[in-house]
Amino acid sequence: MRNFLFFLCLILILSSCKNEHVEVKKTATTNQTFIEVTLEDIPTVNYEGLEPIFNKKDDKTYVINFWATWCLPCVKELPYFERINQEYKDVEVILVSLDFPKQKEKRLISFVNKKKIQSQVIHFDDFNEQVWIPKIDKNWSGAIPATIIYNKNKRKFYEQSFTEEELQKEVQSFLKS
Amino acid sequence: MKTTMKSFLVITVLIIATAFTINPDKGYQVGDDAADFKLENIDGKMVSMANYSEAKGFIIVFTCNTCPYSVANEDRIIALDKKYKAKGYPVIAINPNDPKAIEGDDMADMKVRAEEKGFTFPYLVDKGQKVYPLYGATKTPHVYVIRKEGAKNIVEYIGAIDDSSRNPDAVTKKFVENAVDNLLAGKKPEVTYTRAIGCSIKTVK
């Protein structure tokens, strides 16, 4: 009976999770002026809500970077991702923030506005990390920065920091294939 | 009804079990005899597992001042010590970061943080970064539950404190508590290895 109650609670918790699917749009072009974001502009999603961004089947190459405002190596390489997003027409960068839920407004939103980030930013928040981390990639320890680059032909996972040159080279290797 | 419940339980356990079949590359594995250490505490005294003659085991937590995951788990580490010290499983915290590699993790900073939070356990400096590689810790926080067996210190659990490092309100599985509860009941922990979620241990490159 206790087990049953426990699973009932688990189901209730799971089903009460947010389940909004993320609509990925190119938010900016090179010359577009930056419009300040508010809390609503950066959706907070759980794993179920995040999953569609890993499974796009169109002709674009997707560069998905896991980062957080408190992660210094992540912040350092963000401009490289921003430039990739602006320079390549067929490449879409999505920045998945692992900032703590309580710090979304104070840290994440103000950071995006301060740095005038043009790439799509998604705030990711889920519990049960022993399950979602290996789902994103079975080799991922959960540490950031981490990046996935994929298109309909190819997929690679990187648990590392990039130099701008390395990142450009990796992205270009996807455009040739 | 009963069969449905049972099969649901079996499926859930299977899903969880497959999620846990990852092994660390190096360092201790569950079942290994962990070496004792002699590290300086924030009060200036040297601490070893051998000092605790009454203990049945230890909850060793590699943690630090600067990682947001460590900070998010401080209250949980204090709660573990409060709950299990009296039962024979005290917490020993070890800061594995090289203070030269990150600002905010030297002995003076550690004293301040321990005082602010009211740490009830030793907070040791892994001077020279000799202990964490031996254990195979890669993250802060990274927990090793150890059971004393005669002169041996047997590793019984490696990994995360629970399944929701960033949000204590969303925890559904308390891995460390479950492991220690089982050990106290004379049983083996059901889950012996999980991914430690946190920041990388900081070293000077």
Beta strand pairing status for A120-124 and A91-97? parallel
pLDDT tens for each residue of A106-161: 999 999 999 999 999 999 999 889 999 999 999 998 889 999 999 999 999 999 99
Cα-Cα-Cα-Cα dihedral sign, residues A13, A16, A17, A21: positive
Q: Which residues pair with B166 in a beta bridge?
A: none
pLDDT given for residue B14 in this prediction: 47
Q: How confident is the model at residue A25 (pLDDT cuts 50, 70, 90)?
A: very low
Q: Within a domain: residue A121?
A: yes
For helices A129-136 and B2-19, the axis angle rounded to 10 degrees is: 60
Q: Provide mean pLDDT across the span B137-166.
A: 96
Contact A49, A135 (CB under 8 A): no
Residues composing chain B: 205
pLDDT above 90 (res A172):
yes
Q: Which one has a higher pLDDT value, B173 or B23?
A: B173
Contacts of A116 by beta carbon, 8 Å cutoff, 6+ apart: A34
ipTM for the whole complex: 0.70
**Coil, strand or helix at A27:** coil
Give the domain extent around A109: 21-176
pLDDT given for residue A138 in this prediction: 92
Mean pLDDT over all residues of chain A? 86
Is A100 within 8 Å of chain B by CB? yes
pLDDT given for residue A1 in this prediction: 54
pLDDT given for residue B175 in this prediction: 98
Nearest by CB to residue A100, choosing from B8, B68, B171, is: B68
Pick the closest to residue B80 from B109, B110, B104, B58 (CA basis).
B58
* Interface probe, candidates A71, A129, A135, A161, chain B, greatest B C-beta count within 10 A: A129
Rg (CA), chain A: 17
Q: Which one has a higher pLDDT value, B99 or B22?
A: B99
Instruction: Domain count for chain A, please give it.
Output: 1
Q: Provide mean pLDDT across the span B65-87.
A: 97
pLDDT above 70 (res B151):
yes
Q: Within a domain: residue A79?
A: yes
pLDDT given for residue B26 in this prediction: 81
Domains and CATH numbers, chain B: 2-200 (3.40.30.10)
> What percentage of chain B reaches a pLDDT higher than 90?
86
User: What share of residues in chain A are helix, strand, coil (percent, to 5)?
Assistant: 45, 15, 40
With helix as H, strand as E and coil as C, how does A121-161 read?
A: EEEECCCCHHHHHHHHCCCCCCCCCEEEEECCCCEEEECCC
**Coil, strand or helix at B127:** helix
Interface of A with B in 54-73 (CB under 8 A): 68, 70-71
Nearest by CB to residue B172, choosing from A10, A125, A141, is: A10
Provide, as residue numbers in chain A, all residues whose Cβ is less than 8 Å from the Cβ of B165: 129
Provide, as residue numbers in chain A, all residues whose Cβ is less than 8 Å from the Cβ of B19: 130-131, 134
> What percentage of chain A reaches a pLDDT higher than 70?
81
Pick the closest to residue B195 from B3, B40, B12, B23 (CA basis).
B23
Q: Which backbone phi and psi does B158 adopt, to 5 degrees? A: -135, 130
Contact A143 B8 (CB under 8 A): no
pLDDT given for residue B63 in this prediction: 98
HSE, CB side, 13 Å, CA atoms: give it for residue A34: 12
Q: Within a domain: residue A146?
A: yes
pLDDT above 70 (res B10):
no
pLDDT tens for each residue of A85-111: 999 999 999 999 999 988 999 999 999
pLDDT given for residue A13 in this prediction: 47
CA B126 to chain CA centroid, nearest Å: 15
Q: Within a domain: residue A139?
A: yes
Q: Residue B140 CB: number of other CB atoms within 10 A?
A: 30
Q: Which backbone phi and psi does A62 adopt, to 5 degrees? A: -105, 130
Q: Provide mean pLDDT across the span A74-86.
A: 97
Q: Please report which helix (H) or strand (E) contains residue B125, including its range.
A: strand B123-125
Contacts of A16 by beta carbon, 8 Å cutoff, 6+ apart: none
Q: How confident is the model at residue B21 (pLDDT cuts 50, 70, 90)?
A: very low
Q: Within a domain: residue A15?
A: no
Q: How confident is the model at residue B7 (pLDDT cuts 50, 70, 90)?
A: low
Residue corresponding to tokens 């947010």? A18
Q: How confident is the model at residue A15 (pLDDT cuts 50, 70, 90)?
A: very low
pLDDT above 80 (res B177):
yes
Q: Within a domain: residue A38?
A: yes
For helices A164-176 and A72-87, the axis angle rounded to 10 degrees is: 40
Q: Residue B29 CB: number of other CB atoms within 10 A?
A: 13
pLDDT given for residue A34 in this prediction: 86
Contact B166 A143 (CB under 8 A): no
pLDDT given for residue B68 in this prediction: 92
pLDDT given for residue A176 in this prediction: 78
Residue corresponding to tokens 């294939």? A177
Q: How far apart are CA B107 and CA B42, in angstroms?
A: 7
Provide, as residue numbers in chain A, all residues whose Cβ is less than 8 Å from the Cβ of B72: 100
Q: Provide mean pLDDT across the span A158-170.
A: 96
pLDDT given for residue A8 in this prediction: 47
Q: How far apart are CA A135 and CA A125, in angstroms?
A: 15
Provide, as residue numbers in chain A, all residues whose Cβ is less than 8 Å from the Cβ of B167: 100-101, 125, 127
What CATH number did the domain enclosing A123 receive? 3.40.30.10
